[in-house]
Amino acid sequence: MSPVIIGDATLYLGDCLEILPTLDKVDAVVTDPPYGMAFQSNHYKGTGGKPNANGHERLAGDDNSELLAAALSIEVTHSKYIFCRWDNLRDLGECPSSIIAWVKPNWSMGDLKHEHGRQYEVITFYPGALHSWPDKRPSDVVMHGRSGNKRHPTEKPVSLMQEVVSWTAGAILDPFMGSGTTGVACANLGRKFIGIEIEEKYFDIACERITAAYAQGRLFA
């Protein structure tokens, strides 16, 4: 299938493992791949783990860490920022140059008796050969609220993705686009974007959101 072009965004519906080999080397990757945790938010579970009225099913490819490894293997000229859970760090293979903590205003339930309440998510940073900071050197702690996960079970807030994108240079690739938050961030910031999503319902949501972002105009001319 031919990609959908919306402004400076090029969007592919399909399996990133098949599409990535057809793409040229990219400047930067900003992505939130399936972590291999078979994740499904309790807030969105229905009876027997089936999706409730909110419609969030388990993520495709989230039964192992293969897709996390695929994201890590992408070659870039500038940088890679890849989201994962703290317990994915053992699956990374290549040690990141930095680990950024996205701190949220509240924390997860988890094991109430034998685990601290987790209030952060991890973003791993890998610099490319031509990496340099576009602006001042950023902190390894960022503070942003939750998105509410209304469109996707692991949806990230646009404000967070805009901050992460601002640390990069050049065109951004997100091979696990989901509902398109990284693409919206790129549209807002006037950055070129390449997105890949395997689930058609999320691909359609991403197209709608990115189209709306371009219709509203860029935040920064």
What does the pLDDT look like over 183-217, one tens digit per residue?
999 999 999 999 999 999 999 999 999 999 999 87
Distance CA 83, CA 85 (A): 7
The model's pLDDT over 32-68, given as tens digits with 9 standing for 90+, comes to: 998 544 444 444 444 444 444 445 455 444 444 788 8
pTM for the predicted model, two decimal places? 0.83
Residue 197 buriedness (CB in 10 A; 0-12 / 13-18 / 19+)? buried
**In sequence order, what are the residues at sequence separation of 6 or more whose Cβ sits closer than 8 angstroms to the Cβ of residue 175?**
16, 19, 20, 29, 31, 33, 70, 71, 74, 195, 196
Q: Give the model's pLDDT for residue 43.
A: 43
Helix axes 158-166 and 181-189, enclosed angle (nearest 10): 60
Q: Contact 206/195 with Cβ under 8 angstroms? A: yes
Fold of the domain built from segment(s) 4-216: Rossmann fold (3.40.50)
- For the residues 163-172, what does the mean pLDDT come to? 98
Per-domain residue ranges of the chain = 4-216
Q: Contact 204/19 with Cβ under 8 angstroms? A: no
- For the residues 1-18, what does the mean pLDDT come to? 95
